[in-house]
Amino acid sequence: MMRTIAFLSALFLSTIVTSGAASAAPSAASIGAAQVDEVLVKAHVAAGGPQLDGYAAITQSGTFVQNGGPPNPFEGVVDLRNGYSRIALIVGPATFLQGYDGTQWGQQNGVLAIVSLPSSVADAVTQAYLSSFAFFRPDQRSTLKSGREESVDGQPVYVLRAEPRGGSPADLYFDASSYRLVKVVAQTAQGLDTTTNSDFQIVQGVPVAMRSVDVNASGTTSVTTLKTIQFSTSLEPSAIARPSYVSHGTLAAPVSIPFVSDLVGGLGHIVVPVSLNDKRATLVFDSGGANFLVPEAAKSLDLQASGGIATGGVGTQQQMTAFAHVASVDFGGARLSDQNFVVTPLGYPLLHPRKDVAIEGLIGFEYLANFRVSVRYADRQMDLAPFAGPAPSGGVTLPFKTDGSHAYVLATLDNVSGYYLLDTGNAGSIVLTAPFVKEHHLFPKGGLIYRSPGGVGGGFSEMHAAAKTFAFAGQTYHDVPVSVPQVTSGFFATRGVAGNLGSGFLSRFTVVFDYKAQTVTFIPNRNVAIPFRADRIGWSLGQDDLSGFEVNQVVPGSPAANAGIAIGDRITAFAGNQVAAGFGLGDLSPYSTGSAPFVVTVNRAGIGRTVTLTPHNLLPLPQ
């Protein structure tokens, strides 16, 4: 799974403020409702008072820089009466449009996407509330729920807790002497997002910060520098209108395309041949991702990458990416024109999953947005057809919510319902978010700890356990293995999302994505009731090169532990296969998830030894 960071929260979060500090003292004293009202009255005067109230909109342009990368130009407008907005950001050859008109929307590669996932909707409501300075309006007084006194870098501040109707909470820090807003800490679905500002100018009677710094939960730092500012007393509706959907897809007739898995003896990632500018590339079809290439592939395809923006995924870190323009993308006869691809590295285990397979990137969202896509896992075929054609019959059709690009559907685990991302780019089965598990007190006795190599955003530790039941699309499963990444940032720390359904679960169905109808249909296939695959050896392995697999974690009492395998060892051969002959972790999968004994060669400090491993079930009983 891969996603570019949303930039709206970092632009226009709080323009009319003064410089703020980074940390607050731990002690705080509550203030009463009367003092909260007094702070708001004085803060309103400090922000321009009637002069600010007389303006209907602010138009700005400038540059946007993430993690010290290159400056990306932007321009946009915000309606100060309601927070409606439209912003254009240019990153290399790519232009991103994003806005809010009561609903958050975004456009890239021609696709107009609407945000409907409840937790993302709440964040958008708060963004509009902050952008329009709604906390100054008398009709919004009830949204200020509490207040307290704190100290920021030795300076006293008043902190008011805002809870917009239908939105996420945010703390507003007002300097106790100037009564200007010095900091905003928003509690977004992704975690705490902190914005501070500096370099002030008085523009048309209103103090404006020419520089703002936003730090999100993953540590990504976004610096916005304004170059032009214009307040106006009126705003034409066209200034914040949504752009039209622009279809870049052509398909003369429905096509069926075979795919291979990156797991031997099982179904993991969907690996497909794709032509980019008439040059072949091997990509993963990732419903949780978008157009994506690794730098080596972009270079071999003679693509020039430029710009810089942060990209996140399953890991806790966000990494800088560039963009490259591709004139044509051909996937089995389904063509996309005028596309921009993210260019950023992927880890070695994903690029080299098994012998004779080398992955160079991803496709996903753009194809889902232009065509009806059916993944026939049992047949290892993908069908692409125009939306207007007849839909496959049978199965269970579910509506989905979206964060702007990914599809989320409701499922029930141990009698608790939540939204799950449908992610063909995840080779696992059911992966739960840490906030969902904590909120519903799931797996109180814990589970087995592994180390995942992860994907975009790096690796992480994860807990493996078993759920009593999982009910989805007319099917109910019992004693279901699940994993829970032990993270505090990244996708799996997202509030309001239950988890992720990967290929290990989705492969029990033919999965039909219809983004035009905002539905996904699940048609059970012959594998609908097969046992779930899970590790039966008790090791976490990684791979950095062809010489071997690194042991990153060992489960106490497991076959790996009983054989004396330890963290830092290297597996150089398995079942008669020398890793150096080109094998990847996907080749090892049928052995580590099977039941038959097999032999591995373990190297420690240059000394090799051979041990026999006998797999057996490791998961604790459901809790």
Burial of 185-217, coded b for 16+ CB within 10 Å and e otherwise, reads: bbbbbbbebbbbbeebeebeebbbbbebbbbbb
**pLDDT bracket for residue 8 (50, 70, 90):** very low
Residue 318 has pLDDT above 90, yes or no: no
Residue 343 has pLDDT above 50, yes or no: yes
* Whole-number Å distance between alpha carbons of 306 and 343: 9
Burial of 251-273, coded b for 16+ CB within 10 Å and e otherwise, reads: beebeebebbbbbbebbbbbbbe
**pLDDT value of position 199:** 86
Q: By C-alpha distance, which of 219, 327, 324, 344 is closest to 278? A: 327
Residue 316 has pLDDT above 60, yes or no: no
**pLDDT bracket for residue 538 (50, 70, 90):** very high
**pLDDT value of position 227:** 96
**pLDDT value of position 392:** 84
SS3 assignment, position 76: strand
Say what the pTM is. Answer: 0.92
Q: Give the max Cα distance, the chain.
A: 80
**pLDDT value of position 197:** 81
**pLDDT value of position 391:** 85
With contact defined as beta carbons under 8 Å apart, do 518 and 402 qualify? yes
**pLDDT value of position 456:** 56
**pLDDT value of position 23:** 37
Q: By C-alpha distance, which of 270, 347, 359 is closest to 550? A: 347
Burial of 479-511, coded b for 16+ CB within 10 Å and e otherwise, reads: ebbbbbbbbebbbbbbbbbbbbbbbbbbbbbbb
**pLDDT bracket for residue 6 (50, 70, 90):** very low
Helices and strands per DSSP (H, E), number in the chain: 10, 44
**pLDDT bracket for residue 247 (50, 70, 90):** confident
pLDDT digits (tens, 9 = 90+) for 582-607: 999 999 999 999 999 999 999 999 99
CATH topology of domain 249-383: Cathepsin D, subunit A; domain 1 (2.40.70)
24 vs 512 pLDDT, higher one? 512
Q: By C-alpha distance, which of 43, 98, 106, 47 is closest to 75? A: 98
pLDDT digits (tens, 9 = 90+) for 70-98: 999 999 999 999 999 999 999 999 999 99
Residue 20 has pLDDT above 50, yes or no: no
Homologous superfamily of domain range 2-240:
Lipoprotein localisation LolA/LolB/LppX (2.50.20.10)
**pLDDT value of position 452:** 80
- CATH top class, domain 539-613: mainly beta
Find all residues with CB under 8 Å of 541, minimum gap 6, and list them. Answer: 549, 550, 551, 552, 571, 585, 588
With contact defined as beta carbons under 8 Å apart, do 208 and 197 qualify? no
CA atoms within 13 A of residue 298's CA, in its CB half-sphere = 23
The overall average pLDDT reported for the chain is: 91
Q: Do domains 249-383 and 396-524 have the same CATH topology?
A: yes
**pLDDT value of position 314:** 52
Alpha helices in 301-359 (DSSP H): 348-351
Residue 541 has pLDDT above 80, yes or no: yes
Average pLDDT over residues 10-30: 46
Find all residues with CB under 8 Å of 362, minimum gap 6, and list them. Answer: 2, 283, 284, 285, 286, 289, 290, 291, 292, 425
Residue 11 has pLDDT above 60, yes or no: no
Q: Which residue, chain included where needed, has tokens 């024109």?
A: 337
What values do phi and psi take at 516, rounded to 5?
A: -70, -40
What values do phi and psi take at 397, rounded to 5?
A: -100, 125
Roughly how many angstroms between the first and final C-alpha of the chain, as a whole number?
29
pLDDT digits (tens, 9 = 90+) for 199-243: 888 999 999 889 999 999 888 999 999 999 999 999 999 999 999
Query: Torsion over CA of 62, 64, 68 and 71, rounded to 10 degrees?
Result: -60
| Strand ranges, E, within 386-538 | 396-399, 401-402, 407-413, 416-422, 430-432, 448-455, 458-472, 475-485, 499-501, 509-514, 519-524
* Structural domain spans, the chain: 2-240, 249-383, 396-524, 539-613
Confirm or reject CATH 2.40.70.10 for domain 396-524, answering yes or no: yes
pLDDT digits (tens, 9 = 90+) for 47-71: 999 999 999 999 999 999 999 999 9
**What size, in residues, is the chain?**
623
**pLDDT value of position 5:** 38
pLDDT digits (tens, 9 = 90+) for 360-396: 999 999 999 999 999 999 999 999 999 998 888 899 9
